[in-house]
Amino acid sequence: MPELITFRNFHYKEAIEKGTERLNDLVAPPYDVISEEEKQQLKSRDPNNICHVILPESYEMAGKKFREMIDNQTLVYGESRCLCVYGIDYYRPDTGEKISRYGFVGLLKLEEIFPPSARKGIIPHEAVFKKFCEDRLQIIQNTNANFSPLFMIYDGNGAAEEIIAKYTKKKPYLQAVDREGFTHKIWEVWKEKDVKKLQKIVKDHDIIIADGHHRFITSLSHSKNGGCKYVMALFIDFNDPGLIIYTSHRELHDIPVKNLEEFKSCVCNYFNVLDIKNFEELKVQMDKNKENKIFGCYLHETYLLLQLKDDIKPEDVVPGDKSKEWKNLSLSVLHSILIEKCLKVRKNNVTFVKDVNQGIQRVDQGKIKALVIVNPSTLEEVQKITKLGEIMPQKSTYFYPKPLSGLLIHVHTDKIE
């Protein structure tokens, strides 16, 4: 069963003394969404910006800088161990609607998550790639700390709502505004009664790793060599209205077809193809038919709507020994049938883009041959596939927005545990 414990909430001292505007100069987005240009901007903004630690010039410098920040009390912690409520006020990229999402943060006990038979209530939904683990392992070995919480989801039917609401009525303990204008807020939870209720929620539910698989695996590896047995994690209920999944669209760099008619000929045995006037109409049609195996495609200045034919059963066409449920996922159909079987596009000629407008622009600029536009996976699909002991296809989900780096920090020491 998953185990949650309290932690010493390390944070920037100036966040308390000078407030939001000062903290904005010290925190950063998650390391994996920071461009090289933004990394340099963040580092030049302040010598104590957390980017100096999470994306250092060398791993040794990360450890040295972090220890200096603790020694000179740039980073401090409270007297009481606690859990935290983490709230984000943000704007939906697709509609501009203002929305809020709330969860709670604590230390989750590390357990084996691969293979499925080893799991004890902590479930991955994506594959892990060794090259990405090596970098994060060096960071944790040199700093012995977590700089942003892993993103976990659970089906709690609103079990934490009452506790969260009690704290969010008060002034936040910490508050920062990120690069997109989203407000991140922290409240400390130290009352024993509330802590125990949140611990029970984690204990009683399967916990799915939404984002942070590589950091989980590297923390687990570090724990086996004398490191911390817990990792800082943010827990969000499936039922929180602010929990929304976005997606990554597929960029095709090389298609062995010469023109639009040839493209249609390649896919017509498996897909119904409809010409669409513009992107706005394509979005409407994709939203109307999101329960179906449907994709948008942009190439040769033309929008197409592709829908899997009714007589095609993915379980009979998609290769491999995956379950029928996995083979019927839209992304399984996309990669195995449309991209690989119909278009003969190799995996190394497929990349991913979150911003559909950026993908369309790249087609127009001749940087890619085509953009395949996909509907997001659903929470129900993630839950169904993980319960079967399987993982979702690569880049199935993009949980947005992500928690900041440097807003909450967990330092691994013997005193903490």
pLDDT, tens digit (0-9, with 9 covering 90-100), for 23-82: 999 999 999 999 999 999 999 999 999 999 999 999 999 999 999 999 999 999 988 899
Residues 6 or more apart from 106 whose CB is under 8 A from it? Answer: 4, 5, 6, 7, 83, 84, 198, 199, 202, 232, 233, 235
300 in the same domain as 192: no
Task: Report pLDDT for 417.
Answer: 47
In a domain, 273, yes or no: yes
Which tokens go with 184?
């991140």
pLDDT mean over 234-245: 95
- Alpha-carbon distance 386 to 215, whole Å? 19
280 in the same domain as 236: no
In a domain, 380, yes or no: no
Is residue 399 very low, low, confident or very high in pLDDT (cuts 50, 70, 90)? very high
- Alpha-carbon distance 369 to 265, whole Å? 17
Span 184-216, pLDDT tens digits: 999 999 999 999 999 999 999 999 999 999 999
226 in the same domain as 130: yes
292 in the same domain as 229: no
In a domain, 347, yes or no: yes
163 in the same domain as 74: yes
* CATH number of the domain encompassing residue 46: 3.90.1530.10
Task: Report pLDDT for 231.
Answer: 97
Number of domains comprising the chain:
2
Range among 44-53, 90-99, 125-134, 390-399 rated most confident: 44-53
231 in the same domain as 91: yes
CA angle 193, 199, 202 (to 5 degrees): 150
pTM for this structure? 0.93
Question: Which domain, by its residues, includes 258?
Answer: 248-375
192 in the same domain as 139: yes
Query: Phi/psi of residue 146, each to 5°?
Result: -110, 135
**Quick one: 394 exposed, middle or buried, by C-beta within 10 A (0-12, 13-18, 19+)?**
middle
Three-class DSSP category at 5: strand
Mean pLDDT for the chain overall: 94
277 in the same domain as 152: no
371 in the same domain as 257: yes
In a domain, 281, yes or no: yes
Is residue 95 very low, low, confident or very high in pLDDT (cuts 50, 70, 90)? confident
266 in the same domain as 176: no
In a domain, 357, yes or no: yes
Which tokens go with 89?
């006020």
178 in the same domain as 60: yes
Is residue 182 very low, low, confident or very high in pLDDT (cuts 50, 70, 90)? very high
- Alpha-carbon distance 414 to 326, whole Å? 43
- Taking phi over 0 as left and psi of -120 to 50 as alpha, with beta for the rest, 395 belongs to left
- Alpha-carbon distance 219 to 144, whole Å? 9
Peptide bond before 241: cis, by omega within 30 degrees of 0?
no
In a domain, 142, yes or no: yes
- Alpha-carbon distance 292 to 328, whole Å? 10
In a domain, 344, yes or no: yes
In a domain, 327, yes or no: yes
256 in the same domain as 149: no
Is residue 115 very low, low, confident or very high in pLDDT (cuts 50, 70, 90)? confident
Taking CA atoms, 288 is separated from 273, 292, 293, 307, in Å, by: 16, 9, 12, 12
| Inter-residue contact 336 to 319 (CB < 8 Å) | yes
